[in-house]
A and B are shown apart, each in its own frame.
Chain A
Amino acid sequence: MDVEISLRVDGTAHRLSVDPRTSLLDALRERLGNTSPKKGCDHGQCGACTVLLDGRRVNSCLALAVAHEGSTIVTAAGLAQDGALHPMQESFIRHDAFQCGYCTPGQIVSAVGMLEEAAAGWPSAVTAEFASSNVSVESTDPGVLMDDEIRERMSGNLCRCAAYANIVPAIRECARR
């Protein structure tokens, strides 16, 4: 019953056969040995499994691997390239934006995806001009995403160690660059 699919993960092409019930998260973790995305709830409720799927952040536990034949996936392990950490990863370390580290890869991937969304003008629930076609999510300081926007847009990623008060400035600093 297994189905053969191809996935491009962190720049490397893979062919693998998966049970149709296998989530993208389990395919990455149990089949490809990429344990950067974490399993916190397996129900799309915590965000620890966040990956960039064809450039957009998704909960990989809610995606079935067979439904994503041919797709490109970036995990937190793949954000770091040529041995150098991604600026978001450096910022998380500098601001101590994690404690146990289990939600962290998901937070970081989510933050990278989120900034792309904001840059593209996607509104969030706290965006004042939500219904307008000209969404501005930046504060008066050009290039700076407002803290409330960061908090709202990052609320799909739970952190039980509750590093939120450090996560927000870590992302803000990166957003400014």
Chain B
Amino acid sequence: MTIPAHAMGEMIDRIDGPDKVRGLARYAFEQPVERPAYLYPVQATIARGRMVGLDCRFASSEPGVLAVLHRYNAVRTRAQDGLGELDILQSDRVAFRNQFVAGVIAETSEIARHAAGLVRVEYQSEPHDVAFSADRDDLWTPSTVLSKFPMEVDKGDVDAGLADAPVRLDRTYTTPRYYHNAMEPHTTVACWADDQFTIYTSSQGVHAARGSIAALFGLDPRQIRVISPNIGGAFGSKAHVNPELILALLAARLVPGRPVKLALTRQQAFFQAGYRPETIQRIAIGAQEDGHIVAMFHACTSPTSQVQEYAEHCTRATPTMYATPNLRTQQRLASLDIPTPTIMRAPGECPGMFALESAMDELAVECGIDPIELRMRNEPETHPGTGLPFSSRNLIACLREGAERFGWDERDPTPRSRNEDGWLVGTGVAASTYHALQVPGSVATIRAEPPGRYTVLIAAADLGTGTWTALTQVAADALGVGVSDVELRIGDTAYPQAVVAGGSAGIASWGTAICEAAGQLRQRLGRGGTIPVEGLEVTAQMPENPYADQYSMHSFGAQFAEVRVNAETGEVRVPRLLGVFAAGRIVNPKTARSQLLGGMTMGMSMALHEDGVLDARFGSVVNQDLATYHISSNADVGAVEVRWLPEDDPYVNPMGTKGIGELGIVGAAAAVANAVYHATGVRIRDLPITLDKLMTW
């Protein structure tokens, strides 16, 4: 049952807007603190080996230096199993180049930075191994993180299906390393005083961060307060505690009473804040001549570090997409001497659907069928992986609506058939999907005060996702009051537990807890609804979704791209993107549209620009800043149109929402790549699509 929408569906301007346009909304590093000290890290200059010598004399004798932090004076921490990346300054081992090995704490940032350059570390280096390939003989199968998403799927007989199919496609697609590059770097202000940590940090989930810190430092969570009201973008890189936060906490322990400030430089963030790992994906599809798929195989190999496991689950969306009697997915990992990768916007689905949706375009070409028609012919009735019915699925409707808006019917499918003043013009399409998830563990408190003021407390996060506004709208409808009667408080462990803003599950999870609390509050207020003079407070946990195991829940979308490729130079321009989505109820059309177009644009950026280049000799990425790791700038972006279909899904959660933070990036790169093929006749299977790869004609 979904609650009636009054505030939900309204195009309300961001509640935090007036502060943000003036720059008055304070992010972690900007919190006013008394007598701050500044921390600057020292990073390993080898990719593997051990530290054999440390000389801090020059650094320590610099005026203004408060302390040099290193493994001999850092407090002992206990990294939990599987979180070796956080195990810094605890041993002499170096696991990857640029790992933190020390830090300088000083009165000013200028002094700290200068003195960090004076710390002398001697190393005994060992040969490092950063050679990523799908042919290594030491690849291993990653562990399943969530039972809902088994790492591998095996249904029917894929080999026989492929062998018997009249049309066969076997292709390899690769994607490079991607870096989140949130505009706000990873920042922390941490103070240790009276056996208490007070921590301002840029975090997607303050409670999860507190839990990790408590475990690592052997503290009671009540000794730790984590505050993160404004987050300057995250995209997954601030979901988990990163080593830089631990470095700041170790430093704070060394200078009790002094708030220690640490902001990673843009360059440091390339080594300490995770990244989306490179992937090598093989897709084999067997089909009938009419395009009906009879067998599908999707394999993904990605690298992880030596200290921690992370698998880019590229094959996760594959069982959701198309009907096939025979289906197998495979995931493999290579452990290398590199920093640990992490989740980044639509982890798995984003690079995975680049491969799958490129392969579908190739299959359409092989079969001589329109790519939209091909997808319609392979539309499943139930989830091809689990056999469960979909709670709602409107992929076909998205494709149809998009085709009409985009003018798809006028398209001549022949590649290289349009040349306008020296520019080859092409159009492409790809499907999007993302799972609609609720994550258990959120609690909301609502305080009602007469005559009708409601304060909603939940330690949720707004990464730019619009939580401040959208969650207020959810609360207003849950309470049956106006938006202006509700005050939302988020981003502080002083408020009730909330799950991390991730997996596009924020609103679905926090909102459900709020609906539960609001329901209980309204019940206690009774029919008249008069709030007692002393007020009334209700706290409730997110209830389990009774439909969770009965339906397969996903959002879907159709992405269209028009590209122009310069026939002389191979320069690619994208004048037009269109995304049509079906993602349940849209809470705030204004902020939702922004999230979706942001995702689409990031997907275009992935298709054309982004490429973290590893120098195997040194084991590190060489383009470690925004001048050399290109992200889309304003001039790269043309018209971006976002639409969604009305979709009423009574099973996902009380709001009827599906989550939209990641959906927009899924499939966007494939739409661009497919359009580039249409424009030029050149199929690019290795992102990014740069001119050198196109100049083969």
Residues of A near any B CB (own CB < 8 A): 19, 21-22, 26, 29-30, 33, 35-43, 45-46, 48, 75-77, 79-80, 85, 89, 92-94, 96, 98-105, 108, 126, 148, 150-152, 154-155, 157-168
Pair B637/A102 contact, Cβ less than 8 Å: no
Q: A26-B109, A99-B594, A158-B631 are in contact. Are A40 and B185 (CB under 8 A)?
A: yes
> Does B601 sit within 8 A of A, measured CB to CB?
yes
**Which single member of B22, B111, B591, B631 contacts A77 (CB below 8 Å)?**
B22
> Does B263 sit within 8 A of A, measured CB to CB?
yes
| Cα(A174)–Cα(B88), bound, Å | 50
Q: A75-B23, A94-B13, A100-B233 are in contact. Are A163 and B266 (CB under 8 A)?
A: no
Pair A105/B23 contact, Cβ less than 8 Å: yes
Pair A104/B265 contact, Cβ less than 8 Å: no
Which residue of B has the minimal Cβ distance to A126?
B635
Pair A99/B625 contact, Cβ less than 8 Å: no
Pair A155/B22 contact, Cβ less than 8 Å: no
Residue-wise interface mask of B (178-199) relative to A, using a CB-CB cutoff of 8 A (1 in contact, 0 not): 0011111100000000000000
Pair A101/B625 contact, Cβ less than 8 Å: no
| Cα(A74)–Cα(B263), bound, Å | 24
Q: A108-B21, A166-B594 are in contact. Are A99 and B626 (CB under 8 A)?
A: no
| Cα(A160)–Cα(B180), bound, Å | 8
Q: A35-B23, A96-B591, A168-B634 are in contact. Are A43 and B626 (CB under 8 A)?
A: yes
Provide the residues of chain A in CB contact with B465, threshold 8 Å. 99
**Which single member of A30, A105, A154, A160 contacts B182 (CB below 8 Å)?**
A160
**Which single member of A35, A43, A75, A85 contacts B627 (CB below 8 Å)?**
A43
Q: A100-B182, A102-B184, A160-B183 are in contact. Are A165 and B22 (CB under 8 A)?
A: no
Provide the residues of chain A in CB contact with B482, threshold 8 Å. none
| Cα(A163)–Cα(B21), bound, Å | 14
Pair B602/A162 contact, Cβ less than 8 Å: yes
Pair B466/A99 contact, Cβ less than 8 Å: yes
Pair A36/B24 contact, Cβ less than 8 Å: yes
Provide the residues of chain A in CB contact with B218, threshold 8 Å. none
Pair B183/A92 contact, Cβ less than 8 Å: no
A39, A45, A105: residue with the most chain B Cβ atoms closer than 10 Å: A39
Pair A100/B464 contact, Cβ less than 8 Å: yes
Pair B263/A165 contact, Cβ less than 8 Å: no
Which residue of A has the minimal Cβ distance to B113?
A21
Q: How far is the CB of B568 from chain A (nearest CB, A)?
A: 19
Which residue of A has the minimal Cβ distance to B32?
A33
| Cα(A105)–Cα(B306), bound, Å | 41
Instruction: Name the 3 nearest CB pairs between A and B, nearest first.
Output: A100-B464, A36-B23, A102-B232
Which residue of A has the minimal Cβ distance to B598?
A162
**Which single member of A37, A89, A126 contacts B21 (CB below 8 Å)?**
A89
Q: How far is the CB of B233 from chain A (nearest CB, A)?
A: 4
**Which single member of B265, B598, B640 contacts A161 (CB below 8 Å)?**
B598
Provide the residues of chain B in CB contact with A38, threshold 8 Å. 23, 27, 183-184, 232
Pair A43/B184 contact, Cβ less than 8 Å: no
Pair B25/A43 contact, Cβ less than 8 Å: no
Provide the residues of chain A in CB contact with B111, threshold 8 Å. 19
Provide the residues of chain B in CB contact with A168, threshold 8 Å. 634
Q: How far is the CB of B604 from chain A (nearest CB, A)?
A: 9
Pair B632/A162 contact, Cβ less than 8 Å: yes
> Does B400 sit within 8 A of A, measured CB to CB?
no
Provide the residues of chain B in CB contact with A157, threshold 8 Å. 634
Pair B235/A160 contact, Cβ less than 8 Å: yes
Pair A40/B26 contact, Cβ less than 8 Å: no
> Does B463 sit within 8 A of A, measured CB to CB?
yes
| Cα(A151)–Cα(B637), bound, Å | 8
Q: A40-B185, A100-B183, A158-B626 are in contact. Are A85 and B266 (CB under 8 A)?
A: no
Pair A165/B597 contact, Cβ less than 8 Å: yes
Provide the residues of chain A in CB contact with B631, threshold 8 Å. 158, 160
> Does B593 sit within 8 A of A, measured CB to CB?
yes
**Which single member of A19, A36, A102 contacts B22 (CB below 8 Å)?**
A36
Pair A158/B625 contact, Cβ less than 8 Å: no
Q: A93-B14, A164-B601 are in contact. Are A101 and B30 (CB under 8 A)?
A: no
Pair B23/A76 contact, Cβ less than 8 Å: yes
Provide the residues of chain A in CB contact with B181, threshold 8 Å. 160
Pair B14/A35 contact, Cβ less than 8 Å: no
| Cα(A151)–Cα(B184), bound, Å | 22
Provide the residues of chain A in CB contact with B166, threshold 8 Å. none
Within 8 A of A (CB), among B25-71: 25-27, 29-30, 32
Q: A43-B627, A98-B20, A100-B231 are in contact. Are A162 and B601 (CB under 8 A)?
A: yes
Pair B593/A100 contact, Cβ less than 8 Å: no
Could you show 6 A-B contacts with beta carbons less than 8 Å apart? A38-B23, A41-B266, A76-B22, A93-B21, A100-B232, A101-B25
Q: A35-B23, A96-B13, A102-B184 are in contact. Are A162 and B233 (CB under 8 A)?
A: no
> Does B110 sit within 8 A of A, measured CB to CB?
yes
Q: How far is the CB of A40 from chain B (nearest CB, A)?
A: 5
Provide the residues of chain A in CB contact with B185, threshold 8 Å. 39-40
| Cα(A167)–Cα(B640), bound, Å | 12
> Does B18 sit within 8 A of A, measured CB to CB?
yes
> Does B605 sit within 8 A of A, measured CB to CB?
yes
Which residue of B has the minimal Cβ distance to A90?
B21
Provide the residues of chain A in CB contact with B182, threshold 8 Å. 100, 102, 160
| Cα(A93)–Cα(B626), bound, Å | 27
Within 8 A of A (CB), among B126-184: 180-184
Provide the residues of chain A in CB contact with B25, threshold 8 Å. 101
| Cα(A41)–Cα(B267), bound, Å | 8
Provide the residues of chain B in CB contact with A103, threshold 8 Å. 183
Q: How far is the CB of A127 from chain B (nearest CB, A)?
A: 13
Provide the residues of chain A in CB contact with B324, threshold 8 Å. none
| Cα(A148)–Cα(B639), bound, Å | 11
Q: A19-B110, A40-B183, A77-B24 are in contact. Are A35 and B597 (CB under 8 A)?
A: no
**Which single member of B232, B590, B591, B595 contacts A101 (CB below 8 Å)?**
B232
**Which single member of B183, B235, B594, B595 contacts A46 (CB below 8 Å)?**
B183
**Which single member of B13, B183, B627, B633 contacts A102 (CB below 8 Å)?**
B183
Pair A152/B22 contact, Cβ less than 8 Å: no
Which residue of A has the minimal Cβ distance to B232?
A102
> Does B368 sit within 8 A of A, measured CB to CB?
no
Q: A22-B110, A93-B21 are in contact. Are A161 and B634 (CB under 8 A)?
A: no
Which residue of A has the minimal Cβ distance to B26?
A35
| Cα(A73)–Cα(B345), bound, Å | 37
| Cα(A162)–Cα(B232), bound, Å | 13
Q: How far is the CB of A126 from chain B (nearest CB, A)?
A: 8
| Cα(A2)–Cα(B27), bound, Å | 28
Q: How far is the CB of A173 from chain B (nearest CB, A)?
A: 14
**Which single member of A80, A93, A148, A166 contacts B17 (CB below 8 Å)?**
A93
Provide the residues of chain B in CB contact with A41, threshold 8 Å. 266, 625-626
